Amino acid sequence: MSKYDLLFGFDSYFHTKIVGEVIKTGAVPDKDFMAYWQSGGSDLPDQGQFFWIFNALVYSITTLGAAYSKELWIQHVKFLPAIYGALTAVGLYFVGKNIYGKRAGFAMAFFAAIVPSFVYRTMSGFFEEDSLGFLWMVIGLGFLTASLKKLEFNKRTAGYAVASGVFFGIMALTWEMFLLIPMVLVGYLVFALINVYNKRSKQELFNLAKLFGISFGIFALIASVNDGGKWINRSISYVLGVMPEGIGLLLLGGLVLFGGLVAYIMFVMGGDESKDNSKWVSFVSLALMFLILLAFVGTLLTVNDFRGSGLIESSVGEESTGKESFGRKYNALIALPIIALLLIPLRMFREPKEHLSGIVFFWILITFFMAWYKLKFTFTFGLPIAASAGFVVAEMSYYLNNLSRHNKMILSGAIALILFIVALPVGIWLSILLSAVFLTAMAMFFSSKGDTIVKAGAFGVIGLLMINGIVASAIFVEGHVPMIESNPDYKAATAWLKESTPEGSTIMNWWDEGHWISFLAERPVFTDNRNLDQEAASAMAEFIITKDINKAFSIVDKYKPDYILIDSDNFQKQVSLAYWAYWTTNSQDPRIVQHYGVPTLPYGGINFYCNLIENDTAYRCGANTIPVGQMSSISTDWQKMPTTTQNNDLLWYYRAEDNSEIFFLSKNTNESAMAKLWFHEPEMMKHFEEVYSFKGVKIFKVK
């Protein structure tokens, strides 16, 4: 991030702004007065206050109590996520060490530092709650696994349990994704109780219940104090929201049966330590885990989308499904959680003292599901991939140290599956070939001579995945430039607003760039990326697309902004903006249909940025080469009559006054209020004055 002037994303600017206020005043503000000025500012979210206070404290410590400096604070924001992300990777070492041993701990830490989705969202510089929230979760898991490792109840393990609950609680204060904790831990508890009851003593079962209860109880108390217990309903709603209709009753029945089983084990059996049914119980536990896995896979294959039907869910990019991005966000590392999900149930069945792998199993399962169905959740799956790497390394060590024919077959199958997935981006036939060659080699060398081949293949695959992760994360991060750095129009526009408009001037804007304007320009915005005001989003969208300029005037008269900021990209978004204007997802709504484009211009309009080429004799605008003489003949002012007809479609051509951009508009788009404002239609200009124009952004002062 140090090579860029500004920050990644959009929400980073919101959090940077709020922490800045905390640094300046010493307290979290009651409202965000830089947003939704038409409503007197906006309330701040319940979650996040700890994040703001903590980072303000960090600034105070690192600057030795210096006064707030915006430039210095931006430099902090560039580096803090990298530090938090690195500490999270280190913390994951202790989780792996407690569950599987040092080798697995090192694997978890290393892979956490190279999973593209996690690296991009933390160490690359996204200053959002997740950059810090992951750290508290991992520390909490480290203390929890240390507490439950030997199932002994003493001052040390009870202290670890208390610490884990506290850190889980701090995550609840920091980030709403703390809802992962109860989901993962409840899933773990079910199978941990079964395994411990079946394979260990009754006292150890009680120790598990007490230590887990301490940790979960402290977490629940802190979370409930923070939000009044709403997190319980939200957790249940999230679970039920992704289940087929009617399954909720089955789930409730299952919980009742499980509660009865636990009561029977702990209170009815008394001192009976008989394990006559241990094999039966183990098989039931194993079968249940695989049934859960089968239901998970079946859902992924049969349900395409779990998005809601609302406008935001259907139109905002981050609400779209995430499965299409798995290749670039996880690359070949996706093989690791698949192997882990298949083998963790077998390990829990095999090992007499194993119960902590259930945490890894449900952490992978839940976040895999989240990432598959929501693009905005793909970063939550990064750390579970790293955790699965630790598990795979631990299992490899087990099978390599016990190279029986049976273990060779299992390990060979796992390696072949990894090879198949690693090579899949290159081609399906290469994947099949590599897997087949390796399995053939194993079939030929299932004698003692095959040990070397199995070991070399196992370590070779892990090495290959490490190299793949390093290269993939480097390419992924380097290929993602902060959006505002690749949009110099807004970078310059926000600077102009700050320098050239009176302090407190109100801006009417589309929500996409709200956080940029409120933080960088320090001017109150009409709406921002939180989409808290449906009326504001609809009003701005309707102002842009309406063909009735009197309607546009009435919108401005109602809210009375000082300035209006618009973006030339909106010429290409007329239909999308219509959905927002009328707050509907019905594509057949006549109000939407009228904004559809024409065959020549499906989106109703398009714009291209232009550069001089060929010794300044022509302009290159997208794929178009326009001689200088022809460029000067294109109008810069709004025209009622079309420029040309193409495929029976009426088209209007325009250019920017400085020849930096050209525009092709359909009839509907040309009649929009935005087009008339952008190209200075005389009636519109009686109400507005253009005061700024640069690279696709214009600012108009309201007269």
Task: Report the mean per-residue pLDDT for the chain.
Answer: 87
More confident residue, 246 or 3: 3
Chain centroid, CA 376 distance in Å: 3
Rounded to an integer, what distance in angstroms lies between the CA atom of residue 577 and that of residue 570? 8
Q: What pLDDT is stored for residue 271 in this prediction?
A: 45
**What's the token pair of residue 26?**
């010493």
Chain centroid, CA 680 distance in Å: 41
| pLDDT > 70? residue 198 | yes
Confidence of residue 483 (pLDDT cuts 50, 70, 90): confident
Q: What is the signed CA dihedral for 60, 64, 66, 71, rounded to 10 degrees?
A: -70
Confidence of residue 618 (pLDDT cuts 50, 70, 90): very high
| pLDDT > 80? residue 443 | no
| pLDDT > 60? residue 449 | no
**What's the token pair of residue 619?**
């302009």
- 201's enclosing H/E stretch is none
3 state DSSP class of 283? helix
Answer for the pair 92, 83: CB distance below 8 angstroms, yes or no.
no
Cβ-based neighbours of 352, under 8 Å, separated by 6 or more: 199, 200
Cβ-based neighbours of 618, under 8 Å, separated by 6 or more: 612, 625, 626, 627, 628
Q: What pLDDT is stored for residue 145 in this prediction?
A: 97
| pLDDT > 60? residue 248 | no
Q: What pLDDT is stored for residue 266 in this prediction?
A: 52
pLDDT tens-digit readout, 667-699: 999 999 999 999 999 999 999 999 999 888 999
Least confident interval from 2-6, 312-316, 469-473, 585-589:
312-316
| pLDDT > 60? residue 655 | yes
Answer for the pair 523, 543: CB distance below 8 angstroms, yes or no.
no
Confidence of residue 302 (pLDDT cuts 50, 70, 90): confident
Q: What pLDDT is stored for residue 593 in this prediction?
A: 87
Average pLDDT on 79-84 reads 93
* Alpha-carbon dihedral sign for residues 369, 371, 377, 380: positive
Answer for the pair 516, 10: CB distance below 8 angstroms, yes or no.
yes
More confident residue, 531 or 277: 531
Average pLDDT on 259-276 reads 53
| pLDDT > 60? residue 444 | no
Tokens 């609950």 sit on residue? 165
| pLDDT > 50? residue 239 | yes
Confidence of residue 263 (pLDDT cuts 50, 70, 90): low
Q: What is the signed CA dihedral for 247, 249, 251, 256, rounded to 10 degrees?
A: -170
Give the 3-state secondary structure of 506-534. CEECCHHHHHHHHHHHCCCECCCCCCCCH
Rounded to an integer, what distance in angstroms lies between the CA atom of residue 618 and that of residue 615? 8
Answer for the pair 98, 146: CB distance below 8 angstroms, yes or no.
yes
Q: What pLDDT is stored for residue 408 in this prediction?
A: 67
Domains and CATH numbers, the chain: 11-78 (no CATH), 80-242+274-478 (no CATH), 488-702 (3.40.50.12610)
3 state DSSP class of 626? strand
| pLDDT > 70? residue 440 | no
Q: Which residues pair with 31 in a beta bridge?
A: 43
Residues of the chain with pLDDT > 70, as a percent, come to: 87
Tokens 């390599």 sit on residue? 400
Q: What pLDDT is stored for residue 384 in this prediction?
A: 97
